[in-house]
Chains A and B, each alone.
Chain A
Amino acid sequence: MKLLFAFLSTATICFTGEAASVSDSIKTIRSVGPEGQGNTAAAKAWKSLAQANAAALPEILRAMRDSSPLSANWLRAAVDTIADRGGKLPQQALLDFIADQKQEPRARRLAFELIQKSNPKLADKLIPGLINDPSVELRRDAVAHVLEAGTAKQTSKQTQAAVKDFRKALDAARDIDQIQAATTALRQLNEKVDLPRHFGFLMHWNVIGPFDNTERKGFATVFPPEKKIDLSATYEGKSGKVEWSEFITADEYGMVDINKAYPGPGDGLKEVTAFAYTEYTAASTGPAQLRLGCKNAWKIWHNGQLVFSRDEYHRGIRIDQYQLDINLTKGRNTFLVKLCQNEQQQSWTKQWQFQLRVCDATGTAVLAADRPPTPETGTDNSGNNPTPGRRPRN
């Protein structure tokens, strides 16, 4: 009797009420909010959704579009559970879904992996066509293929063909390891690579400091540049008058090393705060990301609005460590970075630096409309004769 009931329940979901049940369940799951809000209802909906048959997979995948990251994970777990149960995959519908670049990028990758698991040869055929796909996860395989092809050509001394492949791979690559692999290969073949441009790092800045950060209090202190940007102004700093000066980085990963602007004694200044300011001309209004790497405490403002802040010191730095959504304004945009150095004296606490780039959600550089050529030399380590502040362009 129990088994019969279970069978009838499943049959109802799979054959008669599936459409309503799937869409209702999805709606509930898409409603989960912060701090677990909606979890109880979502759990009930998930239980129903996970009973759907494989034909429902495209609808569930489509529901990931514009869903919150948490909702996407609920939906993803349903996809995995349904797929694990077996049953005939709706192959053509999944292929159509993969081809639809308007769908959620990670959902398209998930659809690809369903195909890959059931029909690896078909998946392999898709890969070359994905090299410029908006899904970073999808294009990764395509880039890997081109890198492999380039390496094979390089080994067989087909230099020009290898360069062409590596250049294609670099243009398409968004993951750091692949960008570095393509760059290394090209440089081995005496080709030039403009990494700052590829990433969209901001290279031209104005800096001012040092202000005080004794006992790490500078992070919360509102210093004059946080109220108003006046590149001709002079302020009272930690050890006397401070003024803006031009700072250019030529580091190919866009590192803005504040120790070069304010070297200080020994291993550099401690318990200090500095600001870096730049301007950026956007070709159009629209969403973008600021991607920051930094191991000092920091705050960042876009057009005078605080985007994010973090008071962690010396736990590591990585390209794209922080990914911050912003909306660019067509024309002039301003970015202000506050950078705090703490009191630690260990050798690994010397760094007082950051790297910042503007890109889209896939990591593709969004270059300023008037971006100047990548500088070949940057501000040196002498700290002498800084150029008075002027409006920097990126």
Chain B
Amino acid sequence: MKNSLIALTFALGLTVHSEDWNQFRGPHGNGVSTDKNLPTTLQDDNLKWSIALPGRGLSGALVLGDHVIVTCSSGPTQSRLHVLALNAKDGSVAWHRQFWATGRTMCHDKTSVAAPTSCSDGKNIYAVFSSNDVICLDRAGNLQWLRGLTADYANVSNSLGMSSSPVVTGDTLVVQVENDSESYTLGLNKTNGLNRWRLDRPKAANWTSPVLLKSGLVALQSKTGIDAIRTEDGSNAWSYEDGASTIPSSAVLNGVLYIPSHGITALKLNDADAANTPKQLWQSGRLQPGTASPIVIGNKVFTTNRAGVLSSGNTKTGERGWQLRLKGPFSATPVAAGDYLYFVNEAGLMQIVDTTAEEGEITGKLDLGEQVLGSPAVGSGALYVRSNSKLYKVAK
């Protein structure tokens, strides 16, 4: 497992520090952390601190060295955008930058303008908001560039809110702004924000996030399926055209892409020849993800349905194994470390599951007491969970 992760990290060409949680679902984009020091049981004293945030949000945090990066939106129409760096040790503010939304801020009451999780290449932070403002700051909070994608393309918006999180690879920041009207994915030059390419995408609301398959190749998910795009020029390497969900995103581990499509569909990526559509390994309608994205540990793929039932599946065959009823519902995708899965339900109840137990076992619970919709971040032995008003640090 360890060797696989190291090999994958090398294959992806990541330049971030190994401990950094630098994008939605962490450094490998699949929710899996290499951290070996997370708590496996929970008591009240595992909550190390919680601090008030200046606005709402369901974006996940980033952990970059000693800083935790969070985005928020505030004001009666959430038109004030915030990017904060907090000191991981005590939650104090290292820096705080604010911007005015240049695009529409309307969204469903449950979500917010600070829905997409930021990403980082280790040097800079790329924050994206539902208003389609894209802001690049260095790690000291100095502005590098910004874009207003709705200012540029007036019908790029979704009245329910946008939530796709960006990824950065090579010199390109990939921003998926797909919606019913003017629907694009853009490859932005990460140095100055200029378009490297802009793809017309299916005209349909889409809340999924791009997944990095290998350095310079991302999977764009939509209702039509998956398009693997070369980030250098936006060209298509291959497509899977059997449809896919527009809410939970795909996960990749050990060269297999697990797509929320007809339950879960597993594709074996072809590293030797990226131009060919990968081979389908299996498809399982018995592994149905709800809002949370699938996650893989070792030889098990896990999905959580809308009723809060965690299902394990065999990564080789797709055969469903044990199921465990958790207290749901879940919007936040869980994270994994070692053999444990870390969930936070919409009511703010954190639950840890030991996946090696015969039928799965809940080994810890901690009630944070506030609605949580965003996926946790992991760094230096701690989990960082954000609600609409606070950021929590949970550690041994």
Contacts and interface: CB of A to CB of B under 8 A. Distances in A.
Nearest to A321: B106
Interface string B202-241: 0101000000000000000000000000000000000000
A316 B152 contact: no
A103 B252 CA distance: 51
A35 B95 CA distance: 28
B1 interface: no
A43 B180 contact: no
B181 interface: yes
A180 to B, nearest CB: 11
Contact of B102 (A35, A50, A73, A313): A73
A140 B75 CA distance: 10
A382 interface: no
Interface in B150-170: 151-152, 154-155, 158-160
A70 B76 contact: no
Interface stretch (B139-147, B283-291, B359-367): B139-147
Contacts of A37: 194
Given A315-B160, A318-B106, A76 B145 contact: no
Contact of A312 (B141, B180, B193): B180
Contact of A70 (B108, B146, B159, B180): B146
A8 interface: no
A310 B181 contact: yes
Nearest to A315: B159
A317 B103 CA distance: 16
A73 B194 contact: no
A81 interface: yes
Interface in B91-110: 95-100, 102, 104, 106-108
Contacts of B104: 321-322
B314 interface: no
- The dominant DSSP class at the A interface is helix
A74 B180 contact: no
Contacts of B98: 76, 80
Contact of B106 (A39, A68, A84, A316): A316
Interface residues of B, number: 41
B193 A74 contact: no
Given A69-B151, A70-B151, A321-B104, A77 B159 contact: no
Give chain A's interface residue range (CB within 8 Å of chain B).
35 or more
B142 A34 contact: no
B76 A35 contact: no
A316 B146 contact: no
Given A36-B192, A316-B159, A177 B143 contact: no
12 contacts: A34-B152, A43-B192, A50-B142, A70-B148, A74-B143, A80-B98, A81-B97, A308-B154, A315-B160, A316-B106, A316-B108, A316-B160
Interface of B: 75-77, 95-100, 102, 104, 106-108, 133, 135, 141-148, 151-152, 154-155, 158-160, 179-181, 188, 192-195, 203, 205
The 9 A-B pairs at the shortest CB distance, nearest first, are namely A315-B159, A77-B143, A316-B159, A36-B194, A36-B193, A312-B180, A69-B102, A175-B76, A39-B145
Given A39-B193, A310-B155, 11 more contacts: A39-B147, A43-B192, A46-B143, A70-B148, A73-B148, A295-B159, A312-B181, A315-B160, A316-B106, A321-B106, A322-B104
Interface of A: 34-37, 39-40, 42-43, 46-47, 50, 68-70, 72-74, 76-78, 80-81, 84, 106, 137, 140, 175-178, 295, 308, 310-313, 315-318, 321-322
